[in-house]
Amino acid sequence: MSDTRHATDLPTTIAHLNHTAVYASDRRLSAEFLAAVLGLEVGAPFGPFLPVDLGNGVTLDYYEMTDEPIQSQHYAFLVPDERFDGMIDRLEALGVTYYADPNHTRPGRVNDLFGGRGAYFADPAGHNMEIMTRPYARP
């Protein structure tokens, strides 16, 4: 069986994240919440999944789990600096507390890590979400 893809169709690095499942007790509530905060749209259901397209080739595919507790995960979103304030405004309009730190001890504040701005907040399923305008500087 031959591979019919052209070289231009292949990733330019070893691997690209395409999608990941995000567990939620109410997939619609969680997907719509994140889409509202980030200024995105919820896609059409795809089997048991409800996707939020992040616009970079990656989707978060919300999957409803009602028979066991949701294990909290961390999801970090690199966002344009010019859209950050709008996201904070939407969190405030939704009555969601945001924090400058991942442990949620500095409410109503943003951080200035790596020369950018960032904030953490919980989604309806209890996941620890992060928006940041600069990627982490890694050694």
pLDDT in tens, 22-64: 999 999 999 999 999 999 999 999 999 999 999 999 999 999 9
Kindly write down the DSSP assignment for every residue of 81-132, as one continuous string: HHHHHHHHHHHHHTT---BSSTTS-SBT--B-GGGS-EEEEE-TT--EEEEE
Between residues 100 and 139, the one the model is more confident about:
100
Q: Which of 62, 32, 68 is nearest to 49 (CA)?
A: 62
Give how far the C-alpha of residue 131 lies from the chain's centroid of Cα atoms, to the nearest Å. 8
Q: Determine what percent of the chain falls in helix, strand and coil, rounding each to the nearest 5.
A: 20, 25, 50
Q: How far apart are CA 129 and CA 26, in angstroms?
A: 17
pLDDT tops 90 at residue 117:
yes
Parallel, antiparallel, or unpaired: how do β-strands 128-132 and 74-78 relate? parallel
pLDDT tops 60 at residue 7:
no
Q: How far apart are CA 53 and CA 118, in angstroms?
A: 21
Beta bridge partners of 52: 42, 60
Q: How far apart are CA 53 and CA 31, in angstroms?
A: 10
How many CA atoms within 13 Å lie on the side-chain side of 81?
A: 8
- Predicted TM-score (pTM) of this structure: 0.88
